[in-house]
Amino acid sequence: MANGQVLVLGIESSCDETAAAVVRGGREILSSVIQSQIDMHAIYGGVVPELACRAHIEAISPVVEAALRDAKTALADVGAIAVTCAPGLVGALLVGVSMAKSLALAAGKPLVGVDHIHGHIYANKLAFPDLEYPCVSMVVSGGHTSLYLSASEIDHELLGSTTDDAAGEAFDKVAKLLGLGFPGGPIIEKAARGRDPSKVAFKRTMLDPGSFDFSFSGIKTSVLYHVRGQDAKSPRPLSADEVGDICAGFQEAVVDVLVEKATRACAAKGVPRLAVGGGVASNARLREKAAARAAELGIRTYFPPPRLCTDNAAMIAGVGYHLFRAGRVSDLSLDAVPTKVHRR
């Protein structure tokens, strides 16, 4: 089989989605099955690791089978098996890694461990095959907010990351304190729609001018004081309009910081391409403001369609294909690593 035709089975279980996909040649998505646990975690206002692991164990086999079936292929026809091995909830990662190892061993297929964050970056390559390197990549999700200089599909140099909350985490926490539900991002985006973001303004935390790190806990705390008073214990009833204004002001502050840092990175590295990925990349206000600011600076922006922004296994299969071609395969000692390990 020609290299460009190689089928890769991707498996993803790092957080609260059990997913499997078959991708041909790193670009053609033949199937992508995602079983979300969001409804289960929503009751608790956030992801409960123990419940996530149990749900992954139940879902993983049917999800993998469905991905192969939807792609009208069999395990025997797959060229490699790619799996998210870091970062994420360790118990959750282990479910996918164990599944991938078992399949690789049983079918005699190469095993490829993939960094989940690199997957989020790769979602852009799936959506825009003409994306060129180098480019600046920004991953904004529930667990991560990081900027990279990407030299290829599989080589990413970390420029900066959040020093406290991830952007999506801040959306989730603010939605929780406003009593809006989980996950917070889409709910806050909806509540903010049509509201004036300058009505309730929150400070943008930029850190040092030359720093590509982020900090969102200050904005989150400002929302807390705004809603519950300076002692954080004196809540007052808020009208739906007031909630909308707070959401709009909060979203604007987060978006402004993300856009400013990302475009500064493009300028500093002399790279006129910005690729954004992760759940928060589906935010329409972020897309709009990034596109407008980038156009002023002569930077081209890339945002995957929303279904490729949030967790999926097609992005893992895509990265897996390039690692496989580069000979960067794993053996059966592949471990699940909860923290970020790869600087490149």
Pick the piece of the chain touching ligand KG4 (CB under 6 A) from 19-27, 149-157, 179-187, 290-298.
Answer: 179-187
Residue 224 to residue 303: CA distance in whole angstroms: 31
189 is an interface residue for Zn ion by CB under 5 A? no
Q: Does 115 bind Zn ion (CB under 5 A)?
A: no
Q: Rule CB under 5 A: which of 58-87 touch Zn ion?
A: none
User: In degrees rounded to 5, what are phi and psi of residue 243?
Assistant: -60, -45
Binding status of residue 252 toward ligand KG4 by CB under 6 A? no
CB of 258 to Zn ion, least distance (A): 16
Question: Which CB atom, from 153 or from 189, has the smaller least distance to ligand KG4?
Answer: 189
Three-class SS state of 38: helix
311 binds Zn ion (CB under 5 A): yes
Distance in angstroms (rounded) separating the CA atoms of residues 284 and 144: 19
Which lies closer to Zn ion via its Cβ, residue 13 or residue 141? 141
Contact call for residue 244 and ligand KG4 (CB under 6 A):
no
Is 62 one of the binding residues for ligand KG4 (CB under 6 A)? no
16 binds Zn ion, rule: CB under 5 A: no
Order of strands, edge to edge, in the sheet holding 156-161? 156-161, 145-150, 135-140, 273-277, 300-302
* Of the residues 32, 215, 310, 330, which one makes contact with ligand KG4 according to CB under 6 A: 310
> Segment contacting ligand KG4 (CB under 6 A): 164-172, 192-200, 226-234, 242-250?
164-172
**Closest residue to ligand KG4: CB criterion:** 185
Q: Which is nearer to ligand KG4, 136 or 192 (CB)?
A: 192
Strand ranges in the chain using DSSP code E only, listed in sequence order = 7-12, 17-24, 28-36, 80-86, 111-115, 135-140, 145-150, 156-161, 273-277, 300-302
Query: Interacting stretch for Zn ion, rule CB under 5 A, among 127-135, 137-145, 180-188, 199-207?
Result: 137-145
Q: Is 157 exposed, middle or buried (0-12, 13-18, 19+ CB in 10 A)?
A: middle
Residue closer to Zn ion (CB basis): 7 or 254 = 254
What tokens does 27 get? 């670009």
- Among 84, 52, 51, 47, residue whose Cα is nearest residue 336: 84
Pair 253, 171: CB distance under 8 Å: no
Closest CA to 311 of 286, 279, 288: 279
User: Cα torsion at 17, 22, 24, 27 (round to 10°)?
Assistant: -20
Binding site for Zn ion (CB under 5 A): 141, 311
Binding site for ligand KG4 (CB under 6 A): 15, 141-143, 168-169, 171-172, 183-186, 189, 278-280, 282-283, 310-311
